[in-house]
């Protein structure tokens, strides 16, 4: 019988705010706060942010987010105003 999937509810706005402040945010720290496996947290973050997330290893590692890509239509609209 397969193991049941563990679902976690992450506060992504809090994670983004902490990263924006310059805090070092790691998968392990979030997992410890939620009392779940780091693998579960990593999968949830990857599912939410898709290609925008970068996980860095090491002493200075952590979670980094790439800037959102804007479509050309959004860029043209912003430039027109």
Would you list the domain boundaries of the chain? 12-80
Third-level CATH fold of 12-80: Arc Repressor Mutant, subunit A (1.10.10)
0.85 cut: is pTM over it? no
Cα(4)–Cα(31) distance, rounded to whole angstroms? Answer: 18
pLDDT in tens, 30-41: 999 999 989 999
Each residue's pLDDT tens digit, 16-60: 999 999 999 999 999 999 999 899 999 999 999 988 999 998 888
């Amino acid at each position: 019988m397969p193991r049941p999937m563990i679902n976690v509810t992450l506060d992504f706005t809090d994670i983004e705010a902490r990263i924006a402040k310059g805090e070092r945010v790691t998968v392990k720290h979030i997992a410890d706060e939620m009392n779940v496996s780091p693998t579960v947290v990593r999968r949830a973050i990857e599912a939410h942010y898709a290609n925008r997330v970068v996980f860095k290893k090491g002493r200075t590692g952590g979670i980094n987010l790439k800037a959102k890509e804007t479509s050309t239509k959004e860029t043209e609209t912003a430039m027109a105003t």
